[in-house]
Amino acid sequence: MKYEYNKKPELYTPIMMRIISKRDLTPDVRFFQLVPKEEYKHLDMDYKPGQFMMLSLFGTGEAPFSISSSPTRKGIFEFAIRKTGKLTDKIFELKDGDMLGLRGPFGNGFPIEKMLGKDIIIVAGGLGAAPLRSLLLYILDNRELFGRLIYLYGAKNVDDMLYKPDFVEMLDSDQIELFLTVDKGNEGYEDSIEEGKVTHLFKYITDIDPANTIACVCGPPIMYKFVVKEILKYNLEKDKILLNLERRMKCGCGKCGHCIIDYRYTCIDGPVFTYWDVIHMRELI
């Protein structure tokens, strides 16, 4: 395949990416930084926060992963990958300098143009902090374009909290109103991390202007029902509540049907939906 200058990558052709850095976030989640191989650096690989990529390892397989980096930081792609099976087992064996294939971006992402000037509430649970990191970094890199930034993050325990050192450091920032909690076991972090479900943190959200606020949520399926219930108490309209619904999307382009929830293809219609779009989805009832 011969690529032309400034041409977008082909949908079905993986771009070869080199691992330049990696580190463990939790016992079973590893953070990877990738850059395009030299011959692909001219390609337009822009994306929106909330979109996902298909990562592949030749001879092993391919799977979707949410993008954790921000498009404001050009040329670097970041992913938080949980070790869950054959492909991720092999990816965890890779070293700096090794190669991965990448296709995408896929999905619709967050509607950034509609979020400009708005107060933003971000609610993350568990691994949901990975796709929401892209949105968080985008807002922080363009801080003057947004209003208040409120971030609530809950995890099962301190060891399972993604980006823990980064979040603890952000607690002292005047750019974000950040609140952290774990279900139980915050020993050693009592001054920075509370105990309780993520809904426990909504008590800190005050003086909200519902007409000028957008809420963004990502986490395990069971979390959405309870978090949305709390958000609705602030009288936000249903189209101002954005839910990132992660699924195992095998093709990424609506061909295989693997990611269908009711009548919607998560990989095309999502993964970012408004609450109004998915209010009757069986996973959210």
- Percentage of the chain lying above the pLDDT 90 cut: 77
Q: Is residue 48 part of a domain?
A: yes
Same domain for 207 and 67: no
pLDDT tens-digit readout, 29-80: 999 999 999 888 888 889 999 999 999 999 999 999 999 999 999 989 999 9
Q: Are residues 229 and 270 in the same domain?
A: yes
pLDDT recorded at residue 258:
65
| Closest listed residue to residue 97, CA positions, set 151, 42, 36, 19 | 19
CATH of the domain at 98: 2.40.30.10
This prediction's pTM? 0.91
Tell me: do 180 and 45 sit in the same domain.
Answer: no
In a domain, 239, yes or no: yes
Band of residue 3 on the pLDDT scale cut at 50, 70, 90? very low
Report if residue 225 sits inside a domain: yes
User: Higher-confidence residue: 12 or 73?
Assistant: 73
Total domains present in the chain: 2
Domain that holds residue 21: 15-106
Q: Examine the fold and report which residue of 59, 78, 106 is the final residue of a domain before the chain moves on.
A: 106
How far apart are alpha carbons 7 and 30 in whole angstroms?
31
- Does residue 4 lie within any of the structural domains? no
- Quick one: 120 and 195 in the same domain? yes
The pLDDT of residue 181 is above 50:
yes
Q: Identify the domain boundary among 87, 106, 125.
A: 106
